[in-house]
Amino acid sequence: MSYNELVKNFNRIRDYMREFYVYGFKSRDEYTKKSARSYDDERRRLESWLGDYMQFRRTPDGKNVFISIDSRQSRHNPLYKAWKTKSFTDGDITLHFILFDILSDEDKSLSINEIMEELDDYLGQFENPRYFDVSTVRKKLKEYTEAGIIITEKKGKTAYYKRNKMSEPVNCDILDFFSEVSPCGVVGSFLLDKIDSHEENFLFKHHYITSAMDSEVLCLLLMAMQEKCSIDLDILTRKKEVFTENDVVPLKIMISAQSGRQYLMAYVPRFKRITSYRLDNIVSVKTCSVNNERKITESENTDYDILQEKLKGMLPHIWGVSTQGSSGERMEHVEFTIRYAEYEQYIPRRMEREKRCGTLEYLEGNKIRFSADVYDAEELVPWIRTFICRITDISFSDKKLEEKFKNDIMKMYALYGLEGGGENGIQ
C-alpha cells in the first residue's frame, strides 16, 4: 500500500512515539520488530506531524531519530497531534460536510429519503457525481447518533434525523489549562481546535506529556468505571507478549505527578485481590456493556461498591500503587530517622508535604522519625534516598530490603570514590 500521512490503527504509532520520545537512541536497524518500510513510514508520519520536535543524531551505528520536547516551554502537548490523524475514506469526508449542511438548522428534521434527495442536489454539481446508497448514509447517521452529534427520532415507523444543539463555547483559558492537566486532556485539545488562535497564558512545570499516548485506553477505563462494569484487558508483558486478563473490575486511576505514569487499580477475580496495571502496558480494553449491551444488575452494583470501599480502606497503606511486597507478608513496616540543622527548617516542612501516609515523630535534637505500615515497603526506597546526607537510622521489617538499602548506599560511596564502598560499578 502506498504511503499515507494518516493512520487507521493508533497502536502502532503509539509504540513508535514512545520509542522516539522516551528512548530515542535506537538506530533504524534496531527496529527489528517491524519491517524497514514500516519504520520509514512511521518516522515520516511523525516528522510530518511533529515538525521541529523530531531530531536526528549521527552515531557509528547509523542515524538515530528522537523526539525532543522541553515540556516546560510548550504551552500545549505536541503529542496530541497524533490523535488527529485518523484516516477516512473520500466518501466519509464528503458525506460529513454535506450531511451537516443539509441539517444546518437545529430545528430541521428529515427522513432518510429527504436527506437522499438533498444529497443528490449537492453531488449533482460535480462532473462525475459520487453515488451513496441509502444504507451507507443510514450507517453514517447511526454512527453520528452514537457520537451524540445527530439526534434520531421515530415518528411512526419512520426515523427522522436532526443535528444536536450547539453548545455555548467554553472559555479558552479553561481549555488551555485543563487540556494539559486533566485526564484525557486530548479532548480539550479537540475543543481548542475549533477556537480561533488566541494568547495562551499557561506554562507547565514537571509536566509529563507521555500519558497523551494512552488517552484512548484511559477513556475506556473511565467509561467502564462510570458504568461499574467489568472489562477484559489485553496487556503487554515485559517480554513484549500480549495476554488477556478477563473480568477485571476497574476501580480507580492512580497518576504519578513525579513520573507521569498512570495506573489502573482493579479487582482481578483470578487473583481474588486488588492490583495495579500500568496504562502504557494496556493494549486494549473491552467493556462488557459495549460488547453485550448489558445493564448492570443491582447485586453487581453492590459488589462494585464493596470493592470500592475495600480499596478505600487499603489506600492509607499504599505508598505508590503496589498492594503486595516481595517479603510475602501482608503488611510491611518501615521507619527511618533524619537529622537537620536548626537553620534547615525546610526539612521538616518537606517531610510534612511529601509523606503520603504514615506518621512523623519530632524527636529531641532536631530529628524526625517517619514510620509507616505499607503493603510494599520497597516503594518508599526512592523517596528515602532523597534524604541521603541526613539519614541516621533505618529499619524495615523485611530485613533483606534493609540490607539492600544499606548496601546500595555503600555502592554509591564507591561510585564516587569515597572509601568504604563495595563494588565499583553502576547498578
Partner 1 sequence: MVFSELYSAYYNTVAKIITEAIKHPLSDNELQTIIEKHAFSESMLNIIPAFKEERWQLLKPDGKTTIKNVPTMPLTTLQKRWLKAIFMDKRIKLFTDKTLDFTDVEPLFKPEDIIVFDKYADGDPFSDEVYIKNFRLTLDAIKKRYPLDIETTSRNGEAVHIILMPEYLEYSEKDDKFRLTGSGEKFGSTVNLSRIISVKTYNESFDAEHAKKTPLRERTVIFELVDKRNALERVLLHFAHFKKQAEKLDDERYRITVSYDKDDEMEIVIRILSFGPMIRVTAPQHFIELIKKRLINQKSCEL
* Contacts (CB under 8 A) with partner 1, residues 47-86: 47-49, 51, 57, 59, 61, 66, 68-72, 81, 83-86
**DSSP bridge pairs for 54:** 67
Binding mask 202-241 for partner 1 (x = CB under 8 A): xxxxxxxxx----xx--xx-xx-xx-----------x---
Decide: is 348 part of the binding site for partner 1 (CB under 8 A).
no
Phi, psi of 155 (to 5 degrees): -120, 105
Decide: is 96 part of the binding site for partner 1 (CB under 8 A).
yes
Decide: is 12 part of the binding site for partner 1 (CB under 8 A).
no
Decide: is 313 part of the binding site for partner 1 (CB under 8 A).
no
What CA–CA distance (Å, rounded) separates 262 from 210?
10
Are β-strands 110-111 and 62-67 bridged in parallel, bridged antiparallel, or unpaired?
unpaired
Which of residues 136 and 270 has its CB atom nearest to partner 1 in the complex? 136
Give the interface segment with partner 1, choosing from 153-161, 198-206, 296-304, 368-376 (CB under 8 A).
Answer: 198-206
What CA–CA distance (Å, rounded) separates 90 from 131?
12
Q: Which of 134, 242, 257, 306 binds partner 1 (CB under 8 A)?
A: 257
Instruction: Please count the CA atoms within 13 angstroms of the CA of 298 that sit on its side-chain side.
Output: 0
Q: Enumerate residues 6+ apart whose C-beta is below 8 A from 180.
A: 76, 77, 188, 202, 204, 207
- Could you tell me the smallest distance in angstroms from the CB atom of residue 30 to partner 1? 9
- Could you tell me the smallest distance in angstroms from the CB atom of residue 418 to partner 1? 6
C-alpha cell at 171: 472559555
Decide: is 140 part of the binding site for partner 1 (CB under 8 A).
no
Q: Total number of residues binding partner 1 (CB under 8 A)?
A: 140
C-alpha cell at 204: 507547565
Q: Enumerate residues 6+ apart whose C-beta is below 8 A from 268.
A: 245, 248, 249, 274, 275
What CA–CA distance (Å, rounded) separates 167 from 177?
20
Decide: is 415 part of the binding site for partner 1 (CB under 8 A).
yes
Instruction: Please count the CA atoms within 13 angstroms of the CA of 126 that sit on its side-chain side.
Output: 9
How many other CB atoms are there within 10 angstroms of residue 132's CB atom? 18
C-beta separation of 105 from 58 below 8 A? no
Give the interface segment with partner 1, choosing from 34-42, 291-299, 370-378, 415-423 (CB under 8 A).
Answer: 415-423
Decide: is 34 part of the binding site for partner 1 (CB under 8 A).
no
Binding mask 98-137 for partner 1 (x = CB under 8 A): x-xx--x-----------------xx-xxxxxx-------
Binding mask 364-403 for partner 1 (x = CB under 8 A): -----------------xxx-xx-xxxxxxx---------
Decide: is 246 part of the binding site for partner 1 (CB under 8 A).
no
